[in-house]
Amino acid sequence: MSQLLWTSEEIALATGGTASDPFWVSGTISIDTRTLVPGDLFVVLQDQRDGHDFVEAAFKAGAAGALVSKPVTGGPTIMVGDVLSALEMMGIAARARSGAIRTAVTGSVGKTSVKEMLARIYRAAGPAHWNVKSFNNHWGVPLTLARMPEATERAVFEIGMSTPGEIAPRSHMVRPHIGIVTCIAGAHLEGLGSLEAVANEKADIFAGMEAGGTFILPADDAFLDQLSARARELCPTGNLETFGTAQNATARVTRYETNGVTSRISIDVIGQRAELEIAAVGKHWAVNAAAALLAASQTGRSVADCAEALSGYSPPPGRGTVEQIALPQGGHFTLVDDAYNANPASMRAALSALAQRQGGRRLVALGEMLEIGEESAREHAGLAPDVVASGAEGVFLVGDKMTHLAEALPPSLQQVWAPKADELWNALLNAVRDGDVLLLKGSNASGMGLIADRLRQRSAAAGLGKMDSSDEDAAEVR
């Protein structure tokens, strides 16, 4: 039997709550009855729906117990005044009982990718823990902490924000030994107003850093000095390390080569050479790898072991994953799914990587970038040179903000604009051909991820020979 994650007595002690009956959590902590498995603790959070409405379903699915703030029936509970506050207290208790080396990652671009790279390296070294998907907000961080087994040796936490003042309290919860800022770019400008304010907010990841910890900063970033000053203000005993392509970077990318499918990378980490190959394209992936290797090397692992563990890495879903999609009329095209999110920096990185991919025609389908503030029109129009440099022969644009890019593109470049993603569907199907490479990217709310899902479903149907007449008509190439 695996070690129990929590007992009802421990939960009550951590939260100040009252247990109705004893129980033992042999699984993990769940906030969604659709993914709950027997032995999980069901935590009742309130969002668009009151989680108390799902307690009965949780117990039917085999929940060991439930963390609640009002009476329910069906199984043992811990009653607390506020469930989210209780979850935060569980997270802090889980951190305190574990001897894990904790790494926290934030940044405008690349934080999920660096987190996933570190999770891969840490798993190879022993018991490891990390947040799933992008659970990096006000409930995601305490949930990830509360899920951490006591035997964890290395853990990595992604910390994000949507409004000012959110990162510092999450840093205090995690209390990282190592903190990383991946880069500063035009994300969340709508709420923060300036890149300087973005830099200050991201630097708050060091607010809860353990004394003598290590802050890892992007050597090539224009805000390096500001980040460094803020880090030292928050943690005067901290140790500064950097990563990137700059000559004085602690972890410096010295070589990057790609065949359009995989990338071969050399990185000098504190005087030690690391060689690795990953299933991702674009020099920004080499910089992400440098950050991950540098951070992992601070946990007692050799640079060589870290590089070996990272080799073979491929991006998480929606972050630049590459798939072969079947066409109903025969043949395949390459889908580059980078549709999870977008800001000007990540758009440019994705377009630059597209130029390095092999195949037939290059096509781009781009959703509008959200939360980039007063400069939105200029930032969208400013992508035009990058679209042209990508070698795209067809451009598909979604959202009102993308009209600025449409106006800035050369008239000779074939393009289609639609106000919503689903209205782009037929035009995209009519255009894509055997051998094409299609990049999908946009802010999550732009709907580009839904297009990626529909393309996969259509590909599966084509493989089974099942296409309805409407899809067959839409698939005709004009």
Q: How is 20-57 classified by DSSP, letter by letter? A: SS--EE-S-EES-TTT--TTPEEE--BSSSBGGGGHHH
| CA trace torsion 382, 384, 388, 394 (10° rounding) | 150
Cα Rg, the chain, nearest whole Å: 24
The pTM (predicted TM-score) of the whole model is 0.89
* Tokens (6 digits) for 264: 């071969």
Taking a C-beta distance cutoff of 8 angstroms, is the pair 430, 438 a contact?
no
**What confidence score (pLDDT) does residue 330 get?**
87
Count of C-beta atoms within a 10 Å radius of residue 164 = 16
Element (H, E) at 319: none
pLDDT grade, residue 188 (50/70/90)?
Answer: low
pLDDT grade, residue 241 (50/70/90)?
Answer: very high
Q: Which residue has the tokens 């973005």?
A: 198
Q: Which residue has the tokens 């409405």?
A: 53
**What confidence score (pLDDT) does residue 133 get?**
81
Of the candidate ranges 99-103, 107-111, 205-209, 328-332, the one whose mean pLDDT is the lowest: 328-332
Residue 73 buriedness (CB in 10 A; 0-12 / 13-18 / 19+): exposed
* Tokens (6 digits) for 439: 């990049």
* Tokens (6 digits) for 5: 């994650």
Within 8 A by CB and 6+ apart from 469, the residues are none
Residue 282 backbone dihedrals phi, psi, to 5 degrees: 125, 135
Single-letter residue type at 306 = C
Average confidence score pLDDT of the chain: 92
Question: Would the pLDDT of 279 be above 90?
Answer: yes
Nearest to 8 by CA among 49, 66, 62: 66
Q: In angstroms, rounded to a whole number, what is the distance separating the alpha carbons of residues 440 and 433? A: 16
pLDDT digits (tens, 9 = 90+) for 442-469: 998 899 999 999 999 988 877 654 444 3
Going by the DSSP 8-state scheme, the letter that residue 422 receives in this structure is: G
- Residue 434's alpha-carbon distances to 261, 288, 357, in angstroms, are 18, 32, 15
Q: 52: left (phi > 0), else alpha (psi -120 to 50), else beta?
A: alpha
Question: Would the pLDDT of 471 be above 50?
Answer: no
* Tokens (6 digits) for 412: 């000779």
For the chain, how many helices (H) and strands (E)? 18, 22
Q: In angstroms, rounded to a whole number, what is the distance separating the alpha carbons of residues 5 and 115? A: 23
Percent of the chain topping pLDDT 70: 95
Question: Would the pLDDT of 187 be above 90?
Answer: no
pLDDT grade, residue 256 (50/70/90)?
Answer: very high
Nearest to 396 by CA among 369, 425, 370, 376: 425
Q: Which residue has the tokens 């929590």?
A: 6
For the chain, the residue count is: 478
Residue 324 CA, chain-centre distance (Å), reads 23
Sheet holding 29-30, edge to edge: 18-19, 77-79, 65-68, 41-43, 29-30
pLDDT grade, residue 341 (50/70/90)?
Answer: confident
Q: In angstroms, rounded to a whole number, what is the distance separating the alpha carbons of residues 315 and 321? A: 6
pLDDT grade, residue 216 (50/70/90)?
Answer: very high
Question: Would the pLDDT of 430 be above 50?
Answer: yes
Element (H, E) at 470: helix 469-474
Q: In angstroms, rounded to a whole number, what is the distance separating the alpha carbons of residues 57 and 62? A: 9
Question: Would the pLDDT of 261 be above 80?
Answer: yes
Within 8 A by CB and 6+ apart from 402, the residues are 366, 367, 368, 380, 417
Nearest to 242 by CA among 262, 220, 275: 220
Angle at alpha carbon of residue 204, lines to 202 and 209, rounded to 5°: 125
pLDDT grade, residue 33 (50/70/90)?
Answer: very high
